[in-house]
Amino acid sequence: MQSQTANYCPADRADVPRRLLGCMVKRVMDLVFATLAIIVLSPLFILIAALVSTSGGPVLYRHARIGKNGKSFDCLKFSTMIPGATECLEEYLSYHPQARAEWESTRKLTFDPRATAVGRLLRRTSLDELPQLFNVLMGDMSLVGPRPVTAPELHYYGDKAELYRSVRPGITGLWQISGRNDVSYEQRVALDARYVREQSLWRDIAILLRTPRVVLARTGAR
């Protein structure tokens, strides 16, 4: 059977230099824009860190995600959860079967008992993801790409997992501008696969330009 990545990798050897040049330009764009964003948003970083610290837990939350070539990395976020969040979630799901079904289907919750008051605000505005700009600088992520997923979630990608592993995951992407949590997990996987197959610098720029409007509108945010 033909590999899913065959649609992404150029069949014509003459096309390889163009692809490599595109990857280099994308990486330079990631470094330049991530650096500028961190500098410009540094006062906001400090303010959010101060607010998060009032919860008594760590300011940053590190969670293992799968990156390019299947390499695991620590995805950074501002902490939005209470201490003992794992135990809290298990107890909540044991008493709320509908919530368990939602969690098992989407890995998201309409009401998340683990979230702090500040955390809920950060999630609705996507400000909790700002530290991922440092993941971009470290080469773990890109500004635009598939949504970073955990190792168990790759099971849901099926034969599209190979496509996912062929690129760096992104802070934003097709899923983020197409409804986020308002779309099903199957649609989410399809959007990630579509991005990899059709990716280009112009598409990345278009996604970046659409992202602020979607974030401000809180489309699909939880």
- pLDDT given at position 2: 40
- pLDDT given at position 221: 57
Least confident residue range of 12-21, 40-49, 58-67: 12-21
- In a domain, residue 13? The reply is no
For the chain, how many structural domains are there in total? 1
Q: Alpha-carbon distance 89 to 114, whole Å?
A: 7
Which has more confidence, 141 or 177?
A: 141
DSSP state of 8: T
DSSP string, 23-48: HHHHHHHHHHHHHHHHHHTHHHHHHH
What mean pLDDT is reported for the chain? 87
- pLDDT given at position 86: 82
pLDDT above 60: residue 11:
no
DSSP string, 115-184: B-HHHHHHHHHTGGGTTHHHHHHTTS-EEESSPPB-TGGGGGGGGGHHHHHTS--EEE-TTTTTTGGGS-
- In a domain, residue 20? The reply is no
- In a domain, residue 171? The reply is yes
- In a domain, residue 56? The reply is yes
Residue 141 confidence class, pLDDT cut points 50, 70, 90? very high
| Domain hosting residue 134, numbered range | 25-80+115-217
- In a domain, residue 137? The reply is yes
Residue 176 confidence class, pLDDT cut points 50, 70, 90? confident
Residue 147 confidence class, pLDDT cut points 50, 70, 90? very high
- List Cβ neighbours of 32 (8 Å cut-off, separation of 6 or more): none
- In a domain, residue 183? The reply is yes
- In a domain, residue 162? The reply is yes
- List Cβ neighbours of 132 (8 Å cut-off, separation of 6 or more): 75, 76, 77, 141, 171
- In a domain, residue 14? The reply is no
pLDDT digits (tens, 9 = 90+) for 72-114: 999 999 999 988 888 888 888 988 889 888 888 777 788 888 8
